A and B are shown apart, each in its own frame.
Chain A
């Protein structure tokens, strides 16, 4: 019972998994950033010291997030979303440029990255919109509105430029699908991705021939049902057109560094010194871990700073090198347990708002987890997004903490909203 007389039951499993990931993350940040020349904890400039401070502050945030009434998030979802959009737009005026991206507000010695908080805000707004009694997910108008809610922050983030963070907004397709969005949207997304990579691998000529062949095959297979020849032709033409536009965009709109990242993963280029350096070094570091790794702070690749951005986006390489296959699997299992736990709690929510929000949290964590681990293990192109709770950085940690604990708060009450 909380002071308002409401029955509150926190999901300690989720909280425990969160704490475990944050703790393991910090241990690895320590290893990746500790400078042997300096006495441990002697300087505030050391990143593991700062991260410890960010972790302390997140405890404060958690208290605040849990102290608020669960109705607060439902009621103020739209306003939080608008504030978040303004903060993203404000970057174009007041933003601070770090490493070529204007994604930050300078607050004294620290920097705040609003895009990390926008995810939670968007999830709240989307949940509020879809759970509205007047919203029908099957209606094209409402679908369009939902897509606009999702796309606006992404569109503001892309030109920062931070396409990786913008990509994460694709995660919202999952809650939409859960709430009744036609499967064709996911399928379309999947086909578009497949065509995209297919075009890059095979080239426009071969992909066109392949499309026509598949269309012809399906057409003759189903000929007893008298399929519409025009429709098949149209779909083929659209697909081929898409392939050509991919080719055009890839060669004329993408910058060389983007092209390089794709070519490395597609195996079209191997350059372990230049553009493929990150992936190569990260594979070497992980691969040298063996079964049980080299031991904490004993990683030679970690010590030598061979992996760039190791305490942030590439933090998993430290796990791989120093804790080996066993340690890596522990981290992966922890992530999967957390996501599955959130999904299962989301399914048990009485309120649709809570469920949509929970699904959004699970989907966002999944996309981060999938893209990040895929990147460091060399399965996906280099897309710079952090590993939740693990990667160094105050904004990221706070953003994910808020995102997760709003759900913990909603789940604790698990009530209808009137």
Chain B
């Protein structure tokens, strides 16, 4: 034992040290991060965000310098808080909260105290900044909007939140990121890559030169400019036409699927979400739960499509061979589909074939062909499923695959859907008869409506709608935006429907909206809709719906217009579509009376009705 004691102690201490080193170096990884924090200073060099242009090369969005007040909490020395708060226009409590938040994030890394000073504020502050150790001003680049429209298309820039920082290691506290619209969709392209500079520091926090001779430093890479398919003038005109109305306009170039205009109303000036007033403005927009200016009605809004849907009902009937273009259907002011059950229709000449049915929007005609389409199959389940599959080939009932970050699927019911509602499966075509005329269970977004309109204009195919025309320096766009998507309807069946839509303008429901020298095809819609007031289902004034494309041959524009509670189709939506088409094709408006009427028209009284708390009448 006397010979072994020291030997044993030596060996035991060797084991103890080995385990301690294992714990420090391998097991506990927190030391690694601490080491990075205290020995290396990381500075980011933010590149300019890419510019955004419209399809004609007009600059929509550029950048402006902005100045953030930053803090490194552990370098803050005792200061005259009151004076400093006065300079920053903060209350003492706000200041303390912000400082504490920065400290919790990291005592060593910079955090933003006040974002986005104006130039004037910067000039005033920069003289006094040296008095406050630990605080400094960092220059950043902010968006500068050259236009006052397209806010829903462009999206906005905001500081990253904690969730984004956790999910994406690229972003650090205080970084900016694109939210909504193009800014979000093309964030990776627009933002570029920030540069980084590592500086070795000593224990007094002095910089003693680049870390590892700058081997890890990178230069910032400027964001790429992008060109949108938006036609800025048309977009701006659309937003003007929609003033004091709610709804949306969406216009495509049918041959390419390019989005020409994407108007959601009400809208706001994109410049509101830049600068120090940003959060105040954002809060105001966010909490407007009645007009909902941040809700993109064109992409997210699901509405019953109304009569324009009849064109699809007709196309499917022709494809299924349950009617030909000659057969006429009698309309006794409606469609009778059971004992005492009748779906009404307005007065028009009767009987009518396909073209006339579309032109006069005859409910009886389309209910008849719809029922035949479903009942062609042994069971209503199969019938509905077949009908559903045809519509799916138009991109309905699912996300369309366009390059904007939001959207809705809409609803095209299938057999499972009805089986769920009628668990005993005792449902028949007549239970779903409203689908024939775009009411009932069917709902579409305005974007989906314009897409099927473009498909009709192309006589059977579409290209996924998209907003990107070019990424400068890359010069390609995703290949899916060049690929034709074919529908299940043969091209030959489109002609009679196109003729019918042309007749809508020639003598039908939009005959008052002809544009000289342009052959337009369109379809009006008047969609019934309901809301809940105090838990009771209440019908509101019909939505005014309109889809159109022009010219009839070789179409250049397809458009869908949706005006909430605008009553019948040609009352608002038709007029707006007509003006938009003329503006796009001719570049000028010849019918100034019509334009004046739409510009000055307001539906604000209509929108106030459900909130008035008094009984009201609809469809006046």
Contacts and interface: CB of A to CB of B under 8 A. Distances in A.
Q: Which secondary structure dominates where chain A touches chain B?
A: helix
B66 interface: no
Interface in A35-73: 36
Contact of B6 (A298, A306, A343): A343
B386 to A, nearest CB: 63
Interface in B21-36: 21-22, 24-26, 28, 30-32, 34-36
B39 A306 contact: yes
A369 B11 CA distance: 12
A369 B22 CA distance: 18
B28 to A, nearest CB: 6
A332 to B, nearest CB: 5
Nearest to A308: B203
A377 B201 contact: no
Contacts of A284: 31, 34-35, 38
Nearest to B198: A300
Interface stretch (A10-18, A286-294, A401-409): A286-294
Contacts of A287: 24-25, 28, 30-32, 34-35
Contact of B201 (A281, A304, A333, A366): A304
A336 B10 contact: yes
Given A284-B35, A301-B39, A363 B6 contact: yes
A178 B24 contact: no
A329 B21 CA distance: 8
Nearest to A175: B6
A220 interface: no
B211 interface: yes
B32 A288 contact: yes
Interface stretch (A140-148, A242-250, A258-266, A320-328): A320-328
Contact of A320 (B7, B9, B21, B202): B21
A304 B203 contact: yes
Contacts of A96: none
A373 interface: yes
A199 to B, nearest CB: 23
Contact of A286 (B25, B36, B203): B25
B168 interface: no
B532 interface: no
Contacts of A20: none
Given A289-B25, A329-B21, A174 B5 contact: yes
Contacts of A343: 6-7, 10
B29 to A, nearest CB: 8
Contact of A291 (B25, B36, B212): B25
Contact of B212 (A180, A281, A298, A304): A298
Interface string A248-292: 000000000000000000000000000000000101111111110
Contacts of B31: 283-284, 286-288
A303 B22 CA distance: 23
B24 A305 contact: no
Interface string A170-194: 0000100110100000100000000
A406 B39 CA distance: 44
A339 interface: yes
B196 to A, nearest CB: 16
Contacts of A288: 31-32, 34-36
A300 B40 contact: yes
Contact of A336 (B11, B28, B40, B208): B11
Contacts of B16: 379
Contacts of A300: 35-36, 39-40, 200, 211
Contact of A377 (B7, B20, B203): B20
B22 A325 contact: yes
A92 interface: no
A339 B34 CA distance: 35
Nearest to B205: A304
B40 A333 contact: no
Interface residues of B, number: 37
B2 A177 contact: yes
B209 interface: yes
Contacts of A117: none
Interface string A329-346: 100110010011001000
B399 interface: no
A42 to B, nearest CB: 18
A283 to B, nearest CB: 6
Contacts of B203: 281, 304-306, 308
B479 interface: no
A300 B14 CA distance: 27
Interface in B404-460: none
B10 A304 contact: no
Nearest to A328: B21
Given A290-B25, A332-B14, A379-B20, A304 B39 contact: yes
B217 to A, nearest CB: 15
A321 B36 CA distance: 12
A325 B21 contact: yes
Contacts of B212: 298
A306 B38 contact: yes
Interface centre among B35, B200, B209 (most CB of A within 10 A): B35
A359 B26 CA distance: 35
B201 to A, nearest CB: 6
Nearest to B11: A336
A178 B21 CA distance: 31
A362 interface: yes
Interface string A86-123: 00000000000000000000000000000000000000
A333 B10 CA distance: 11
A143 to B, nearest CB: 16
B13 A325 contact: no
Given A303-B208, A332-B14, A325 B26 contact: yes
Nearest to A289: B25
A328 B39 contact: no
Nearest to B30: A287
Interface centre among B30, B36, B39, B208 (most CB of A within 10 A): B39
Contacts of A363: 6
A4 B25 CA distance: 53
B271 to A, nearest CB: 45
A370 interface: yes
B307 to A, nearest CB: 70
A304 B20 contact: no
A339 B10 contact: yes
B25 A320 contact: yes
A178 B18 contact: no
A209 to B, nearest CB: 30
Given A177-B2, A284-B38, A285-B35, A340 B7 contact: yes
B3 interface: yes
Nearest to A319: B21
B17 interface: yes
Nearest to A344: B7
Contacts of B13: 366, 369-370, 373-374
Contact of B26 (A36, A291, A301, A378): A291
A370 B16 CA distance: 10
Contacts of A377: 17, 20-21, 24
A298 B40 CA distance: 12
Contacts of A370: 13
Contacts of B2: 177-178, 180
A333 B14 contact: yes
10 nearest CB pairs, A to B: A287-B31, A288-B35, A300-B39, A287-B24, A304-B39, A325-B25, A304-B202, A306-B203, A336-B14, A377-B20
Given A177-B2, A283-B31, 6 more contacts: A174-B5, A284-B35, A288-B32, A305-B202, A324-B25, A377-B21
30 contacts: A178-B6, A186-B5, A284-B35, A284-B38, A285-B35, A287-B25, A287-B30, A289-B25, A298-B212, A300-B40, A303-B208, A304-B39, A304-B200, A304-B202, A306-B38, A306-B39, A320-B24, A321-B35, A325-B22, A332-B21, A340-B10, A343-B7, A347-B3, A366-B6, A366-B9, A369-B13, A373-B13, A373-B17, A377-B24, A378-B20
